[in-house]
Chains A and B, each alone.
Chain A
């Protein structure tokens, strides 16, 4: 199950956030900071799945933009990973040049 969907840039600014579980507004900021911190600290050689607290993060980086999805442990990481790409392709279809390298 997807817990949340985030788009965060390299500077750590949240560009889009959507929560599918109730999280208090002030805790969201904290969570988003921690999430982006753990994504930024990873290199290209590392896998796209991070064990984070009691759930998992699946993330992809498009230029300076990170798309991070928080999922519980029954979720299929690969399906989410590819879903992010699908989402980006759809965005690109609507708005063009969403991120330069799509």
Chain B
């Protein structure tokens, strides 16, 4: 170890520093400094050439003055001069000064670079290291441009000394991080990997850091590092505690290097080579074994270093997530740490276990520690440890322990730190919904949440409970009863009043039979809270009152009295005043029937994602909810936790996290269509209905189904000549549709409204209506983040010759979408003639500076322009026969992807647009439909027949239209839906 010798010190510098320290006041210090600056300036400007020692001393003084916070505007040249000195101490001071006070004077830069170049070429390892350190410390782009190419060469040169290699590796790492484009990849990369084999542990350590960074960008180029890292790790792990001399830390061999090697391995999947993998597993086992051995030293440094390796080993085991044995052992080890007296270990163990909980192999093992974790939540004195415990409980929660965990979290909430209350509330709300076995438990839980931590219950949470209660009639009575009881508490939170007001307004009638909760009692209970509430809540309560008038006519007089009171009718708040006036008038003017219609019970909410989860994610940043959406899903949860949609026609989503994506609700791709030849084999399966009639000769033009070709020019050229609006960019400007685009499109074949797309940033909702060959579509773009989207630009693009088939007029929308805001875009659509591909919707915007772009298929399919046609059986068969050319028919036989429910099928066919004809098909199981596709240029008559076979769980779908591509296209579209 090089000692700092006192004799080498510069006396003048020491005196100056002690003078400064002895200064009694700021003024005295400044005075002393100015004196010194004048002195140095005169020395530098003097005639007498200064020797190296003096230069070094003065440069040091300048540096010291600079570090005290004063500006230095001279001395750079003298420092640069020092760089070319042959004395280490002088050169070192020169570099030190340059590194701290980089001057952008180009003349100086040239000189500095020159000096560095000389030192790099000097073959003197100390000088080379000084130069490398300077490059790394400055780390500027200019430095990178000048030297990035030289350093790899030094790094892999056979004759470089260890210390130089070490510095070169770290210098290169620094330059690569600053400007990756400047570091040329090349032949040296292969040789860098071999530094993992280097004799010198310092070189290995530096090389691992470099490779870990480089391999993230080019994993394939560095793949060979896996086996080298494994063998290096194996040698370290199995070495005796004294083998590595300097690199042994309190009897632990090379702990930091081990950690780095384990981290490097986490950049890759498990090794493919069985031998390498075997060796690695052996290493991991050794580390786990060592944790159980008695420590070689009682010192805490020993166990800390050992545990550092252990935690990184566990990270790697979790990263691989493929060795059940190791995962369970890791879990047991962490379980021991959960009760360790060191807070640090408890914290880290909880944190690691959180990721273990999401592995299917160790989830059960993690669950065994539930009592310890709950205990931690109750007794830990450190809030960050408690927070980890809460996170872990959330991650380990499943159907089996949800009740216990939710009730513990509720209990914790009463004493929880304010900073994390909202997060706990969200987590409880999510778990309660996700794992609700019965919804009365869910309602109880949420009402408890409001009771315990009402201030932290965000709108999302209480909205959600209302959605769920509205959509599930089995829980409505219970909910009404429970909120009624909750409202009887002398002081209840305003959120409780909101939920209570809404639920009683909708379902108060369900408990009105009980004299204890008769209508007047309900009303006076709610009204007793009225005056304590905010405007928003009072507005909500006014709506409840008018609903009461409808539900309970006997309360009408009382409520009218309340509405008529001056405090309502002349309320200073416009909203309240308006409600009071309108409701009062409504109640007195409207007849009972009208009232009943206007104030009807709210319809079920449309299928919607849980906004709570989105909120939690927003709070915690991306990836925070990962413990929840880990993909472990309980199939049995479908029926009850299927989100809020009550209709069986929508695919129920098993968890709120799945809901959030919105994509999973799309039907899975249809089973591949049976080859046409196979159709014959299946005929007997399906042949309950009449066999297709033999053709009686095509006379389509006589039927109503004939194409009503207008005399307008039909040639594509003529249409192309028509100058189309050029507002939309050409298709070459937009990317290909996202992979899910087809699935998303399929969702909308049979319906016109819903959520078209959703990710973490953006939600796109669609509302559309079609009549004849015209359509209007409203697109709603919702910004889900709290950050404004900029340059927001949704455009509709017509790929191919769609331009001639479909006209879509769009209005521009505002280029900025504020966080949380929604903008609406109206599209006017005209179908000119039949088309096969939907237009593309391209959405581009900037989010936090990063450009985002997204291309979707606009849910406009040819069937939207269907006009249903009713006809008798006789007419149907006549037309069916007329359309008997082979190319007019399209048929598909396919497996059912959804339960075969006749009502659902009917709804889908109607949604598809055709009329459903009863009593046409002799087999009542079959569906028959007819309609005309309206386009500007022509009309296409369509007949369809769907034959379900419940036994085989298959369908046969037959389409006949007067246009061949339309038959095929409709058949494809419709077949996806069942």
Contact = CB atoms under 8 A, between A and B. Distances in A.
Interface residues of B, number: 28
Contacts of B259: 76, 79
Nearest to A85: B301
Interface bin, chain A: 20 to 34
Nearest to A77: B348
Contact of A76 (B311, B381, B383, B621): B311
Contacts of B249: 82, 86
B732 to A, nearest CB: 38
Contacts of A94: 1, 3-4
B263 A74 contact: yes
A95 B2 CA distance: 11
A78 B1 contact: no
A51 interface: yes
A46 B343 contact: yes
Interface in B340-359: 343-344, 346-348
By secondary structure, the B interface counts as helix
B951 to A, nearest CB: 55
Contacts of A86: 249
A81 B345 CA distance: 12
Contact of A83 (B256, B346, B347): B256
Given A76-B312, A85-B301, A51 B307 contact: no
B109 interface: no
B384 A46 contact: yes
B255 interface: yes
Interface in B344-376: 344, 346-348
A50 interface: yes
A30 interface: no
A47 B343 CA distance: 5
Given A47-B346, A47-B385, A54 B1 contact: no
A47 B311 contact: no
A81 B344 contact: yes
A85 B308 CA distance: 13
Interface in A67-93: 74, 76-79, 81-83, 85-86, 93
A47 B347 contact: yes
Given A47-B346, A86-B249, A94-B4, A78 B385 contact: no
Contacts of B510: none
B311 A78 contact: yes
A66 to B, nearest CB: 16
A9 interface: no
A82 B344 contact: no
Interface string A52-76: 0010000000000000000000101
Contacts of B305: 79, 82
Contacts of A74: 263
A82 B344 CA distance: 12
Contacts of A24: none
B4 A76 contact: no
Contact of A78 (B3, B263, B308, B382): B308
B384 A78 contact: no
Interface string B271-315: 000000000000000000000000000000100110111011001
Contacts of A78: 304, 307-308, 311, 344, 348
A77 B259 CA distance: 11
Contacts of A48: 343-344
A4 interface: no
Contact of A54 (B255, B347, B382, B621): B621
With a 10 A CB-CB cut-off, give which of A46, A79, A86 has the most chain B CB atoms. A79
Sorted nearest first, the 9 A-B pairs with minimum C-beta distance are A79-B308, A78-B308, A46-B382, A47-B347, A47-B343, A82-B304, A79-B259, A45-B381, A47-B344
Given A81-B304, A94-B3, 20 more contacts: A45-B382, A46-B384, A47-B343, A47-B346, A47-B385, A49-B347, A49-B348, A76-B312, A76-B315, A78-B307, A78-B344, A78-B348, A79-B255, A79-B256, A79-B312, A81-B308, A82-B249, A82-B255, A82-B301, A82-B308
